[in-house]
Amino acid sequence: MNVLACIKRVPETGSKIVLTEDNQRIDAGNLGFTMSPHEECAIEEAVGLVEDHGGSSTVLTLGPEEATEQLRTGLAMGIDEGVLLETDGSEWSPRETASAIADAVDGEGFDLLIFGNESSDMANYQVGVRVARTLDRPCVAGVKSLEIDGDRATAKREVPGGEEVYELDLPAVITVKEGINEPRYASMRAKMQARRQEVETVEPERAGGAGSFEKIELEAPEEDDSVAEILGEGPEAADAVVEMLREDVEVL
């Protein structure tokens, strides 16, 4: 089977987010770039499916030339081919992105398109669903388990109190969430080889028009500067806790 994983170059998270002076972008100078965590799972899923069922896997992204770095991460993890829909680096709306991806993959013979559930920077939750809609393929979002049997797929996702199980015909689109698998670390040799591999570059058409959002500006959430203090350990801490509750919190 032929599987496509779609990813997005995003700033690394896990630390304080600093914005550029015009509040239009995240200043990733100290952060570096990565792909969204859900998308690492999309890649792992694609690689695993091809390992199990044969065929070929492709990783695709829409972004600036630098996004090749993320494609190479996918290649190093075991993906066969990389495709860059090269842009000038400006943020494309979900609709524009989906339209460009649909153009690129239509007729390429992919049995399954795997997206992350949402990107970790903009979190629009839309691209996978829009691509499915444009290509008129069945789609399940938020998938945490996927099994393929011939031209049928079984996808499960978590809901409060249980899980939903969907069966769908291939070709199909799914968006996956962290937990569906444990993404592998690329081996050193694979990383080295990935650096030398050619990546196909395509210039996509930007659709624009109705339905797209316009970004006004970004705003960093207020910092939580509360400090945790350890008052002590074991029974010896009891006095300090009592004093704290009496003097500072005034509940006793």
Between CA 107 and CA 98, with CA 116 as vertex, the angle to 5 degrees is 45
Per the structure block, which two tokens stand in for 190? 């694979």
Report in angstroms how near the CB of residue 193 gets to other proteins at its nearest.
Answer: 10
Helix, strand, or coil (residue 86) = strand
Residues in the interface with other proteins (CB under 8 A) total 23
Write each residue from 65 to 84 as x if it is in contact with other proteins (CB under 8 A), else as -, in one continuous string.
----x---------------
- H or E stretch including 196? helix 188-196
Residue 87: closest CA among 106, 115, 68, 110: 68
- Tell me which of 144, 156, 184, 206 binds other proteins, using CB under 8 A: 184
54 binds other proteins (CB under 8 A): no
Contact of 40 with 176, CB cutoff 8 Å: no
Q: Kindly tell me the sign of the dihedral angle through the C-alpha atoms of 204, 46, 95, 178.
A: negative
Q: Which residue, 64 or 138, is less far from other proteins as judged by CB?
A: 64
Q: Which long-range contacts (CB under 8 A, 24 or more apart) does 239-242 make?
A: none
Contact of 77 with 43, CB cutoff 8 Å: yes
Report in angstroms how near the CB of residue 41 gets to other proteins at its nearest.
Answer: 15
Helix, strand, or coil (residue 104) = helix
Report in angstroms how near the CB of residue 180 gets to other proteins at its nearest.
Answer: 19
- Tell me which of 23, 30, 90, 201 binds other proteins, using CB under 8 A: 30
Report in angstroms how near the CB of residue 192 gets to other proteins at its nearest.
Answer: 5
229 binds other proteins (CB under 8 A): yes
Per the structure block, which two tokens stand in for 182? 């444990």
Per the structure block, which two tokens stand in for 2? 């032929």
- Tell me which of 164, 187, 200, 246 binds other proteins, using CB under 8 A: 187
Largest pairwise CA distance in the chain: 72
- Tell me which of 123, 192, 220, 245 binds other proteins, using CB under 8 A: 192
- Tell me which of 25, 144, 156, 191 binds other proteins, using CB under 8 A: 191
224 binds other proteins (CB under 8 A): no
Amino acid at 170: L
Q: Which stretch binds other proteins (CB under 8 A): 29-37, 84-92, 142-150, 155-163?
A: 29-37
Q: Which residue, 76 or 127, is less far from other proteins as judged by CB?
A: 76
Q: Which residue has the tokens 């395509």?
A: 202
- Tell me which of 216, 248, 251, 252 binds other proteins, using CB under 8 A: 248
* Interacting residues toward other proteins by CB under 8 A: 12-16, 18, 29-32, 69, 184-189, 191-192, 195, 227, 229, 248
